Amino acid sequence: MKIEFRKISAHKSPFELENDLFSSKGSFRKLSADLVEIDFALNAQLLLVCDRCGQEHVLAIDEKMNLKVSDGSFEGEDLDVIENYDHIVDFDSIISGEIEAIKSDYHYCEKCNKISGE
Ligand SMILES: [Zn+2]
């Protein structure tokens, strides 16, 4: 799903996305001429490799997220803004990027979690 910045209004518009990787439901709106806010719930099943023992395991993601996307470079103080340079908000690639960020964190399988918790 891709929407041009200039077509996004200040009123919340609902969206729903579903693909092989995740499902997501929420809304987006324009905060200012070049800043869009996306509020959504993210559901995904990620196959991860334990960083301790190498075992593959599934992590279920069920999270509420709030993202801001700027049209061009962002000069403000908010560090969580995703800068975008093609005047289009590409929801699939933004949400995929968030999932990649979650994946790149350290993850332990349940067994190793127990060990490190003792
Ligand atoms: Zn492990």
In the chain (118 residues long), the average pLDDT of successive 10-residue segments reads 96 95 96 95 95 93 95 86 94 93 90 78
CA–centroid distance, 116 to ligand 1, in Å, is 10
CA–centroid distance, 49 to ligand 1, in Å, is 8
> How many CA atoms lie less than 13 Å away from 7 in the CB half-sphere?
6
pLDDT at position 118, please?
Answer: 57
pLDDT at position 76, please?
Answer: 82
CA–centroid distance, 54 to ligand 1, in Å, is 6
CA–centroid distance, 115 to ligand 1, in Å, is 9
The reported pTM is 0.85
pLDDT at position 78, please?
Answer: 78
Identify which of 37, 44, 40, 38 has the alpha carbon closest to the alpha carbon of residue 21: 44
